[in-house]
Amino acid sequence: MTEDTDDILTRLPARLKEARRAKGLSLEAVANLSGVSRSMVSQIERGESSPTISTLWNLTRALQVDFAGLLEEGSVADQIEVLRRAEVPSIDNMGQNCRIRILSPPEEAGGHEVYDIQFDQDGGLNSQPHARGAQEQLTVLEGAVRVTSGSAVSELQQGDTARYAADVVHAISAKGPARVFLIVKNA
């Protein structure tokens, strides 16, 4: 083997592991997404096994990284993932007179979720209880909203932040146009 080939084989395990961690994925998640067994992913990351081109291709597609980029000199950590406004996923069929933009990565669903919610006149979002111990933190960016968590009710103005239980019935409502930044943290 040439020195270049040895260098690539030395860098590859660490690069795959960096890419997986940067995406916040477990070994199990990568295995499910790639079709490569969890034990094989682990062996490759530890440098105990050299992947076939097919296996490497499946892993890079699951991790959404450039195949050639894994082998370049630059670090996988030296990247900024950007989603342009038009690319940010949204939910328009939930709630009443509101648009929900999902700012957190898909792999965070059910864990730590981040939303940008815009309410029109008489907008509202009523939510059933999340997992036990779940909490929400809401900051009003524009307008005013009413937050209800169980039997507690609070009126919030622009710049106010509220933290409340989300493992009970809870709601956000706005009489006029408003915009909030919402973080949902499931236990």
Q: What is the pLDDT of residues 10-48, one digit of tens each?
A: 778 888 888 888 888 888 888 898 899 989 988 888 888
The answer to whether the Cα torsion of 83, 92, 185, 179 is positive or negative is: positive
Q: What is the pLDDT of residues 92-123, one digit of tens each?
A: 778 899 999 988 877 677 778 999 999 999 99
Determine the Cα–Cα distance for residues 144 and 170; give it in Å rounded to an integer: 17
* Confidence (pTM): 0.59
Q: What is the pLDDT of residues 130-150, one digit of tens each?
A: 999 999 999 999 999 999 999
Q: What is the pLDDT of residues 81-90, one digit of tens each?
A: 787 888 888 8
